[in-house]
């Protein structure tokens, strides 16, 4: 389901999507998250990637737990971000024991983890607040992901969210880095598929 755009500012869209995420039951969130993770696991971009950059979920985001467990089981390298000032660096993790509470009370890799040098065949799973079929993304306003993607624009990106986070159109700025595709529980979305 793609929502029409009745809200015109990033602030109002952030507020509406955050509220919808928090109102979702934990069972719904887990079920939809697993559907999303299964679609990633069967996607050729995932299967062909030599490494996956993802995130540690917070505040009702799509959970990547199922994907992490499957990736570790199948020896697929997984990396998650650590915030360093205004930037973030990804580090390889081999279990949840490699994490500690960091910036914004989100679990981050310990500094004993190995930093990642992103390769062209990596798959980058990007969290967000809202998306549109053109791949535009509204994040949390800190610009961490956009600054990272500016440096590594060659990465294949998939914006991760729930159906209620997908809009026909969202406001964006020139510096915002669009996603190659967006994935929700109903499938992959791009301008070609809408």
Q: What is the largest CA-CA distance in the chain?
A: 46
Query: How far lies 28's CA from each of 44, 60, 66, in Å?
Result: 27, 11, 15
In order along its 194 residues, the chain shows pLDDT tens digits of 455 545 578 899 999 998 999 999 999 999 999 999 999 999 999 999 999 999 999 989 999 999 999 999 999 999 999 999 999 999 999 999 999 999 788 999 999 999 999 999 999 999 999 999 899 999 988 899 999 999 999 999 999 999 999 998 999 888 788 999 999 999 999 866 54
Is residue 7 within 8 A of residue 169, CB to CB? The reply is no
Q: What is the helix (H) or strand (E) element at residue 21, kind and residue range?
A: helix 10-23
The pTM of this model reads: 0.92
The residues, any chain, with a CB within 8 Å of residue 15's CB and separated by 6 or more, are: none
The residues, any chain, with a CB within 8 Å of residue 3's CB and separated by 6 or more, are: 164, 166, 167, 168
> pLDDT by residue (tens digit) across 9-57?
889 999 999 899 999 999 999 999 999 999 999 999 999 999 999 999 9
Give the orientation angle of helix 65-73 with respect to helix 26-41, to 10 degrees: 40
């Amino acid at each position: 389901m793609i929502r029409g755009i009745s809200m015109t500012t990033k602030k109002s869209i952030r507020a509406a999507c955050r509220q919808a995420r928090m109102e979702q039951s934990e069972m719904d969130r887990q079920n939809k998250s697993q559907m999303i993770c299964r679609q990633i696991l069967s996607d050729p971009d995932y299967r062909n990637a030599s490494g996956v950059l993802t995130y540690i979920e917070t505040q009702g985001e799509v959970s990547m737990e199922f994907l992490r467990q499957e990736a570790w089981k199948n020896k697929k390298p997984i990396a998650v971000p650590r915030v360093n000032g205004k930037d973030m660096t990804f580090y390889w993790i081999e279990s949840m024991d490699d994490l500690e509470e960091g910036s914004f009370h989100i679990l981050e890799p310990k500094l004993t983890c190995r930093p990642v040098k992103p390769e062209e065949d990596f798959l980058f799973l990007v969290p967000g607040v809202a998306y549109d079929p053109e791949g535009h993304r509204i994040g949390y306003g800190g610009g961490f992901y956009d600054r990272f993607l500016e440096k590594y624009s060659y990465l294949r990106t998939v914006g991760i969210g729930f159906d209620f986070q997908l809009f026909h159109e969202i406001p964006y700025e020139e510096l915002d880095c669009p996603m190659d595709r967006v994935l929700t529980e109903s499938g992959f979305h791009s301008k070609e598929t809408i």
